[in-house]
Every structure is written in C-alpha cells, then in structure tokens.
Structure 1
Amino acid sequence: MLSRQSAQTVRDTLPAVGASLGTITELFYRRMFEERPELLRDLFNRANQANGAQREALAGAVAAFAVALVDHPDERPDAVLGRIANKHASLGITSDQYTLVARHLLAAVAEVLGDAVTPAVAAAWDEVYWLMANALVAMEARLYARAQVEDGAVWRTMEIAERHEETPDAASFVLRPADGSPTGPFVPGQYVSVRVELPDGARQIRQYSLSTAPGRETWRITVKRERSADGRVPEGEVSSWLHAHARPGDTLRVSLPFGDLLLPEGDGPLLLASAGIGVTPMPAMLEHLAVASPDRAVTVVHADRSPALHAHRRELDALVGRLPNASLHLWYEDTADHPDALADHVNEGWADLTRLSPSPGTTAFLCGPLSFMKAVRTDLLAHGLDPGAIHYEVFGPDLWLSK
C-alpha cells in the first residue's frame, strides 16, 4: 500500500503527528470553514464541531488508518473505512470534496509541526491521505452504484404520514415518498439522513435508524430530543426542531438508506444489545427475523433509565414473543414504574452480561452510548466471543478509535 520509503517516514513521524492530531484537526476545520462557511452551515454537524467530537473522531480515524498501513503493509484497512464511507454516502459526499479536505488538512499538518515537516515527511503523509481518500471514494462509488443513483444524489422528499409520542423525549415519524413512488428497499440496521432548515437558515443533517423492517409502503424513524446536561435547555438542533415542528402532512428531505450494521445470513445465534435510543434498529431486525428466520436463536438485551423512558418497549416485547427461540433481558436504573418489575427478564441497575452465556458462534450487534457498548463488548469477549463477530453502530461521530 504505502511505498517503502513513505512507510518508514510515517513510522518515524507517527508519534509526533499522533500527539498533535487534535491541534491539527482543529486548525483544519477552522481554515476550511473560513473558506467554505456553507459547509459548517449545511453539511457538518454544528454541535459536534462546537463540542470537539468531530475533530476527535477525525483524529482517531487518521491515526488508526496510518497505524494499520505501517503495521500491516499488505492489507488495506477497510474495516476502519466502511463505517465512514456509509456515513459519507448518507450525506451525499462526492469525490471532488476530498481535494478541498486534502489542501486544508495537509496545510494544517505543516503549520502545526513546522520545520519537522520536511519535503519527505510532507510527501509521506500526502500519500497516507490519498490512500485513505481514494479508498473512501471507491467505497462510496460502490454504495451509490448499489443504490442506483449518481454520486451524491441520495436526497428525496418524504411526507410525514404519522407521528407517535413513544416517550416524553422520543417521537417516531412514519414517512412516505411525497411523489407517491415506492419507499425502496433497505436492510434492517440501516439509517437515513434527515435535513431540516433551522430558524437561522442553516440546513443541518442528522442520521436516524430505520426502526421498522423493510417491505412496507412507509419508513419509520424514531427521534430522541437531545437536551443539555441540566435536562432543561434543548441541545440537539435537529431533534428539537423535529419535536417542536414536524407534524403529519409536513415534508422532510431524507436520504436513501445506508449503514453497515447488517444481520448475517444463515441460522447462527444472534445477540442484540442496546441502550437508550440505541434501541431503534432493533425492532427492524427482530421484525425481519420473525418473517425470514423465526426459529433463529436470538438474545435481546436492552438498558435504559426507566421503563417510561424506554422507546418501543411494548413493541420489543411483542417482537421477541414472535420468536420461539428468543429471550429478552432488560435492565433499568429505576424499575419503580415498570408494570411487572419482578419479572425474571427485568433487572434493576446497569446492564450486566456476565450472567448470560452466549452460544458459541454468536454474532453480536451493539447500539447505544459508547461506554455501554465497550462494557458489553468486554463482557462478550470474556465469554469467548470472536472479536470479529461483535459489531456496533455509533450515533454521531465514531469515537471508539479515539478513546
């Protein structure tokens, strides 16, 4: 992958670059947005820019990619890139945008590291960037081709057919194409991007899992209203707008479905573990399994603050009931409002999978806060699960590699 000379240069400079990546990515985004302010207004998540999460995720991805290149020179680290490519496709990213990124990112490297960036060092890291960028461009091109659209042409107008209040902080929106065309296929576990115009004119984008199985005339997304730490002032720009304004009959700009949290074919055992609003892809997976593989062994785990705040709680219970070889395990920090708090499958406290015994060959899917997913992964590895059989989905910037 990397030329021999560049590989040695990257190996030698990786500690210095890695230690400065936070500063580099901060300078990169600032310079790019100064030149192209519309990117921050209409493409990038302003909240994640403000709290630094996007910078941290970019730094983690670049570092992981560079390490993989020098440690495994005969392999392309596609596992690092697949999730990024799907997110980019859901945003309609096109190949020409990588040239803009290259110019500002490599200039930021040169400015932060100063005289340490010799022509050889600059050439080596330019090679790293374009190996990463070209791999992403190729992956995204395949995703667009599979969706049968031109590169970046992922947006369509959807009408809100129904709205349902799932919990005090979560609402689901049933969507149908505004032009009467079919919704189109997707795979359980995938998500769509939703673009809304905010009061200041910005057109911000967020991703939401499709929370029902494919094959219907409608799609459904479930949106949690994000709040600030004090629990009072709305923090999520798009989620707050949807909760306040989106009603049946309104239209939204919605992307085609993307995402790589996909159920494997076959009849092997599955474990679906979620926490909070991370539950949203699970009903789609379970509904699909009830039709396509009803006898498959499935262990369903969910953790939440309380039953009243558990979105799709009754639906989850009903779907597990349709699968004869499925079991449900719930953990709540507070079970006081649970109608059957003493049931065997309801537990109080934090999710603890050490008491479960996943079958050999189990494939696990995790969705929820990063701390929850890392704790569950640790429990599953202790049970002997293959690390390659544990998959996860992150809502927002993927900080797994940077923590």
Structure 2
Amino acid sequence: MTTTMLSSKHVTEIKASAPVLAEKGEAITTRFYEQMFEAHPELLNIFNHRNQKQGTQPRALMQTLYAAAVNIENLEALLPTVQKIAHKHVALQIVPEQYPIVGHYLIKAMKEELGDAASDELLEAWGQAYEIVADIFIEAEKKLYQETKNQRGGWNGFRPFVVDAITKESDGITSFYFKPEDGNALPTFSPGQYITLRVLLPDDPYTHLRHYSLSDAPGKDHFRISVKRETAPGYPDGAISNFLHDHLDVGDQIPISAPAGVFTVDTNADHPLVLLGAGVGQTPLISMAKGALDANPDRKIDFVYTAKNEDNHALLKEMNVLNDQYDNFQAHVRYTDTDDHINRELLQAVTKNDAAEFFLCGPGSFTADMKEILENDLNISESNIQREMFKPFV
C-alpha cells in the first residue's frame, strides 16, 4: 500500500485533519449516508438499515477515516482492516462502479460539515487519498472474487439455496440448513467464516443482506447457520432474524453469497486453541472446534463459553459430544444466572501453553473484557488473539 501519489502538502493536510475528524467525523459520515441514499436509493438494497438507524454504520466509517488520517504515511498498518472490509464487500457483492459514488458524497459531506475548516487544499487532499484507498480495495476485492469463483463449487453473486432443515437449538436460537438448489457441489470454507443471505420482507421495497456465521464444520453437503432472534433499540423485533424464525420454512428458497471472512482458524496447524464465546458468539467457534478436530483429532482445544443458563445454551449437545469424543477437547461452561462467570482464574488455567491461539467472539463488552485480562493480567501477546464482534462494515 502506498501514498506516493500524494504530495507532502496533501499528507500534511490529511494528518492535520485527524483531530477534526475525531470531533466532527460522525456528523460527516451521518450526512454522507443521508445524501448518498437520497441520490442513490438503490444502495439501500445493500446497506444494513438497522445499523443506519442506530448510528453504528456512520460511527464505523468515522473510525476508519480517522485511522486513515493517522496512518496516511503508513497505510500498511491498515492492512488487517482492509482485508476484513474487503471480505465484507465481496460478501455483499460491492462493485468498482460504486466507489466513485461513495467518494463524491463523502467529500461533499466533509465540505458541508467542516465549513470554513474545509479548505480547497484539504478537500483535494482527501479526494486523492480516497482514490488511492478505493483502488486498494478494488484490487483486493478483485482477487477475492476470482478466488471465490475459481474454487471447486465456488460462485460469485447470490446463488439460490433451499432450506433443507430447521432445528430449534435453545430459547431464541434456531439453526437453518441450506443446500444449493442446483444440487451441485459446495465449496469448502475456513471455519469461522460467514455466509450472506439476501432477504425480501413482505411490503418492503428493499432487499436486506445479513451476514451469519457458519456454525458447522466444512466439508458437509450443506451450510448451517444458527440465528438468534434479535431485538434492538430503534429497530423493534429485529426484522430479519424474526422473519427467519417465524416465516422461513423447509423448502423455501433464499439467495446466498459464498463464504467470506478473516476471523478464521488454520486447520492445518497443530498449536493449541482457546475459544472464548458468549451467547450467539459461539457460532463461529463451534465451527472452528469441529473443523480443527476433523483435520487433526489430536489438537488441544479449550472451549470457554458463557450463557444466561442452560436453556439459552444453543448447540450444547454438540459441545458435549466433542467433550466426550476427544480427550484433548475441554469445555468450560459458565452460566450467569447462577453467578458463575468466566474469571481470571479460569482463563489462567487455559493459558498455560505459550503457543496457544485465542479466538474471542461475543458482545463487544465481553470480548473487550476477555482481551484485557489475557493481555494485561496473563501476558498473552496481542498477536495471538483474534476478536470478532459482528460489527458493521464500511
């Protein structure tokens, strides 16, 4: 990644704008989305409406802009973020023609919200910086599209699938099994990845795209997701998850894009794994555990999990099967209804091997707490920790 096209003056302008972005960035990105959707309502078929209503989407974009400003001379520092966002874009089928639209309304919003602080030099600098970053994303996504399509069973776009089975897993979580309508092969995937469903609600002019982690091991004749029935402020009843729970039936067709995502475990490695999950955050982790053990039955895995109670513990039977079948798999379950929590002592007991890799998935507060204990109390290197919070893309 390079900024050689930017003059030193433009680099200085962008770096100097970082404090302003920290102060007014969310106002800029909120205005950006408003104007872009007004001019291009077709993009509402792609973006998550709930994230817009709750402000999480503008906030995510603001954080990315700020990071770009701070790291403008060292964009390599953003590579992990670029890869994660590129996977999201491919899952949503973002195309190069959409990048100029985003750039136009982003600079327009900057000019309006910054007022006198938006000099011609600053806007020119950000315009050029955006083009450079857009080209980086376009190239990364082009490569991913090619890799996705060229693998055995792979495809681009949204492929028709049929609901093969539906299983209630717990209070609030149901598993859906999908098979390709054409009966052809499915591609393999890296445990931890997600698929994207395209849902059309009754009396809604827009389609809705949702990412759901694959909750089974790769190599099956189906894809499985395990979906929590959501409720959220500003978007009562979690429209998409509730639609799946209440209206999706066996035999129904639904379009799905190919597996994507960078929160993945290497099944070819043999170092120990520690999987820490809360609530529905266990879905990619159970896929990781099953996929890793399928590839290497001797791999040491500790699965640390918390839920409200046993009634809320989805996929409990599968966890117990792994616990019984593999001497090297150990489940550590804590239920908060009985004030039984994941604490420092438990984490210390599963961090004895310096080579272990840690995967954290659940609510933001949970993963932040776990990461803090691992790094600050138990001296686990940040490079050995991967964290997923199901945050919106930009």
The match for 2:354 among 356, 360, 364 is: 360
Call closer, same or farther: CA 1:187–1:385 in 2, change over 3 Å.
same
Where does residue 218 of structure 1 map in the other structure?
222
Shift in Å, 1:56 = 0.7
Structure 2 matches for 1:71-90, cutoff 5 A?
Answer: 72=74, 75=76, 77-90=78-91
Moved over 4 A (4+): none
The match for 1:280 among 283, 286, 302 is: 283
Call closer, same or farther: CA 1:38–1:200 in 2, change over 3 Å.
farther
Deviation readout 1:157-200 (Å, 9 max, x if unpaired): 10001000111211101110011111221111100001111112
1:397 aligns with 2:392: yes
TM-score by length of 1: 0.90
Distance, in Å, in 1 between the alignment partners of 2:9 and 2:243 is: 52
Call closer, same or farther: CA 1:134–1:320 in 2, change over 3 Å.
farther
What is the identity, as a one-letter code, of the residue corresponding to 2:361? C
- Assess if the C-alpha contact under 8 Å between 2:177 and 2:224 holds in 1: yes
1:207 aligns with 2:247: no
Shift in Å, 1:322 = 2.9
Call closer, same or farther: CA 1:132–1:394 in 2, change over 3 Å.
farther
TM-score by length of 2: 0.92
The match for 1:290 among 286, 289, 293 is: 293
Where does residue 255 of structure 2 map in the other structure?
253
User: Which is worse superposed, 47-56 or 315-324?
Assistant: 315-324
Identity of aligned residues (%): 33
What is the identity, as a one-letter code, of the residue corresponding to 1:360? D
- Assess if the C-alpha contact under 8 Å between 1:89 and 1:140 holds in 2: yes
User: Which is worse superposed, 19-28 or 182-191?
Assistant: 182-191
- Assess if the C-alpha contact under 8 Å between 2:199 and 2:208 holds in 1: yes
Shift in Å, 1:395 = 1.8
> Alpha carbon RMSD of aligned pairs, Å?
2.0
Structure 2 matches for 1:132-211, cutoff 5 A?
Answer: 132-148=133-149, 153-201=156-204, 202-211=206-215
The match for 2:371 among 352, 368, 377 is: 377
Deviation readout 1:270-297 (Å, 9 max, x if unpaired): 1111111111112211111222112122
1:126 aligns with 2:127: yes
The match for 1:303 among 303, 306, 309 is: 306
Secondary structure class of the residue paired with 1:272: strand
What is the identity, as a one-letter code, of the residue corresponding to 1:214? P
Deviation readout 1:185-241 (Å, 9 max, x if unpaired): 1111100001111112321111101111111111111111102469xx952111111
Distance, in Å, in 2 between the alignment partners of 1:158 and 1:303 is: 33
What is the identity, as a one-letter code, of the residue corresponding to 2:102? V
Call closer, same or farther: CA 1:229–1:23 in 2, change over 3 Å.
closer
Call closer, same or farther: CA 1:143–1:321 in 2, change over 3 Å.
farther
What is the identity, as a one-letter code, of the residue corresponding to 1:187? S
User: Which is worse superposed, 237-246 or 114-123?
Assistant: 114-123
1:56 aligns with 2:50: no
User: Which is worse superposed, 126-135 or 196-205?
Assistant: 126-135
1:36 aligns with 2:40: yes
What is the identity, as a one-letter code, of the residue corresponding to 1:52? G
Shift in Å, 1:138 = 1.5
The match for 1:316 among 319, 338, 354 is: 319
User: Which is worse superposed, 270-279 or 291-300?
Assistant: 291-300
